[in-house]
Structure 1
Amino acid sequence: MLAANIYDVVDENGNPTLAGMTVTGRSATMFVMVAGISLAFITGGRHPVRGHLRRATSVGVAVRAVLIAVIGLSIAYASPDLEVILPNYGLYFLLAIPLIGLRPRTLAAVAGGLVVVGPLIILGATALGLQPVNEDGPTFTDLVTHPLGFLLQLLVTGGFPAVVYLAYLIAGLAIGRLDLSSTRVATWLFGGGLALAVAAWFASSLLLFNLGGLQHLMALAGPGADPAAVRNDILWNADRVPSWWWLAVRSHHSCTPFDALHSLGVAMAILGGVLLITKLRPARRLLWPVGVAGAMTLTIYSAHALVLGSGLFGNRPNALYAVTVAGALIFAVVWRRLFGQGPLERIVSAVSARARRAAMSWQWLTPRGRGQRVGSPAA
């Protein structure tokens, strides 16, 4: 995530950078998928909460979603060149609440449906000429002045449209319902994810290189454009265009079916690989600082966005990357030892937990809930 936000996708000559070919786009998918796994953990793990407890938990999730969105809309002002994903996160969580009780297979089917339908909705919006209200990401100002456009940007026209990205969160929710301590599950995630990523990549290549897709898309650039630059843009940094051939693109954040399947497959494979690696005690010890930082992604992401907005290190991305990675790891380890949970994570967890407890108390007073202890079999 840090590398994806610091390095450009293509260099000054129009050639893809190392970050553009590896982490850009894929990191956002993993970010959202892991959020779905976290959602599974806080809603019961392998056994989803039921009854009154589920309704109270849903209230807690809703409050968590609003707080994350508020944080994102706030820091967007300080980092205008970065499209902050946190407001989108809030919407993803809200939309996922009705799905909390579904089985993993059903969740997987819903995610698969979004991968198919979501890109078609985006293609339709592109054909209609719909544009985001703010190219650099929505803010509170956009919410007040253009509420419909604000919502449309989160759902369809923005860089992280819910009609596709929600599939990653739902996939994570399904994965979080599995036994992640199982070697068999980890192996399945690694192998299945790798197969999905490779299959999507080669299917896109077939359509683009062998069936004429790339030529059709390059023709849309018009005369006078540099063919090499246009080709690299289509393959690595594609814009949304009103053409059916756009659906064959696999570049980062394009939100086509092949981009979605490939990046989700990569995220699953990395998760499975990490689960397998960390079964080794030396690997767990070595990667412990990374795990601690991973438990503070809300805080680290927000701080990272502020650092990017400050213009620190100017045009020296390597120095900025080294400092932010080292700073994130050192901060996470020191804070964990001194205070435990990350600062923003603690605030969000405390407020959402209080809302959840309040909802449980309110259910105790309702006619249906009176006389039943919340969490009992009857509840």
Structure 2
Amino acid sequence: MAAAAGLTGWISSRRARLDGHGREPGVDLARGLAVIGMFAAHLLDTSALVWDDPETWTDVVNGRSSILFATLAGVSLALLTGGARPADGARLREARIRIAVRAVWVWALGMLLVQLQTPVLVILPAYAILFLLALPALRLRAPWLFALAAFVAVTMPFPVFAINGWSGWGAPGGEELAHALGWHYPFLLWIAFVLAGLAVGRMSFSRPLTAGLLLVAGIVLAGIGYGVVGRWGALALADSLWGGALSGAAHSSGVGEALGSGGFAIAVIALCALLCATPARWLVLPLRAVGAMPLTAYTAQLVAWALLQPAPQPWGPDIEAFRATEPFWPFTIATIVGCTLWSLFVGRGPLEWAMMATARLAARPFAATTRRDR
């Protein structure tokens, strides 16, 4: 009897690491899907997406997974700074210090991963810059955040389109500059996804009614982006210099993609919140475990890739040769199993723990001031 009670208590304590107070299971699930989606975008050879052709639907991971990842960054920033009730005063200043330290940490890790020379555009430097750009917006409420995100989404593709044509990208040092700025995920536009995520995080999005409304809004926005702007708008200006800035294609940085993929990300987050409001959240616990340590999972994938990829060709790493070894399922299964076991038996992911500890140490003097202020 005592042994059974002890086992039950042990299981409950381990389970609480993924389902305890302060965790949002829907966010972890959405993050897990984003990580696996980026694995698929990197490791699978997919056909161009045609919505009425189910055989091409695997291509949904391209572009949308990374945008979902960026939108979830905004949700995480909102949760770190009070959720539906934004922090202010000393608490907000302390949170900003911690977020800035995380940004430096993520940027440095991203630049190290770039040196692995895998044929992958590492998102982490862009992620870090987006953290810093989001700092002034942390006090804003959801309506203002949504409005600002919409403004950025419909205006910034045009300067991004112009900057992409800059000859300096092809000059010596241009590629290094692009990696350092994360320009393959241009921050001028991608801050829109972080702002939209902040707005979602400022709402009680885990409540079924709110999540349902966000799901509908995301679907409508995706339809407008992909169908109205991305297809008809781009066709109308096909002969114009700026026609490409309206595109809805993956990785185009067009208005259509910004609205469509932004809406897609909001819909996925809302759907995950709805799913995790039911007992089904236990069925998706392994994916939630991946989402609880996304930095570790993403980094481990690139390190494993660097170790296992075929010898580079004269022009660089050969992505098709690596894809031919069919690495997606081994990578995915190993990641899901590894993250689940680590979450249940150890706790926070190793890179997540190191980043948190560094940020906490940097903010310690300010944390003491915060306690005195209280």
Deviation at 1:318? Answer: 7.2
What whole-Å deviation, never above 9, does each CA across 1:224-252 have from its counterpart, x for those lacking one? xxxxxxxxxxxxxxxxxxx2111221111
SS of the equivalent of 2:167 reads: coil
Corresponding residue for residue 236 of structure 1: none
For the 8 Å contact 2:211–2:273, the answer to whether it is kept is yes
1:172 and 2:193 matched: no
* Cα distance between partner residues in 1 of 2:242 and 2:137: 31
Corresponding residue for residue 67 of structure 1: 105
1:103-142 pair list within 5 angstroms = 103-131=141-169, 142=176
Which residue of 270, 275, 279 corresponds with 1:272?
270
1:181 and 2:206 matched: yes
Letter in 2 for 1:162: F
1:306 and 2:332 matched: no
SS of the equivalent of 1:131 reads: helix
1:87 and 2:125 matched: yes
- Structure 2 stretches of 5 or more lacking a match? 1-37, 49-53, 311-320
Deviation at 1:80? Answer: 3.5
Which residue of 43, 47, 50 corresponds with 1:6?
43
What whole-Å deviation, never above 9, does each CA across 1:305-356 have from its counterpart, x for those lacking one? 1222234484445731101110111111111122100010000011112222
* Cα distance between partner residues in 2 of 1:326 and 1:4: 16
Question: Cα gap change, 1:150/1:3 in structure 2, threshold over 3 Å: closer, same or farther?
Answer: closer
Shifted more, 111-120 versus 324-333: the winner is 111-120
Corresponding residue for residue 344 of structure 2: 337
Question: Cα gap change, 1:324/1:201 in structure 2, threshold over 3 Å: closer, same or farther?
Answer: same
Question: Cα gap change, 1:193/1:318 in structure 2, threshold over 3 Å: closer, same or farther?
Answer: farther
Letter in 1 for 2:184: G
Query: Structure 2 length normalisation: TM-score?
Result: 0.79
Which residue of 168, 180, 184 corresponds with 1:159?
184
Which residue of 288, 298, 321 corresponds with 2:285?
288
What whole-Å deviation, never above 9, does each CA across 1:49-74 have from its counterpart, x for those lacking one? 11112111111110011001111111
SS of the equivalent of 1:319 reads: coil
For the 8 Å contact 1:8–1:17, the answer to whether it is kept is no
How many percent of aligned residue pairs carry the same amino acid? 28
* Cα distance between partner residues in 2 of 1:71 and 1:315: 23
SS of the equivalent of 1:112 reads: helix
Corresponding residue for residue 316 of structure 2: none
Query: Structure 1 length normalisation: TM-score?
Result: 0.78
- In the comparison of the two structures, how many residue pairs are matched? 322
Deviation at 1:40? Answer: 0.8
* Cα distance between partner residues in 2 of 1:133 and 1:64: 31
Corresponding residue for residue 229 of structure 1: none
For the 8 Å contact 2:114–2:179, the answer to whether it is kept is no
Question: Cα gap change, 1:351/1:92 in structure 2, threshold over 3 Å: closer, same or farther?
Answer: same
For the 8 Å contact 1:196–1:261, the answer to whether it is kept is yes
Deviation at 1:17? Answer: 8.3
Deviation at 1:187? Answer: 0.4
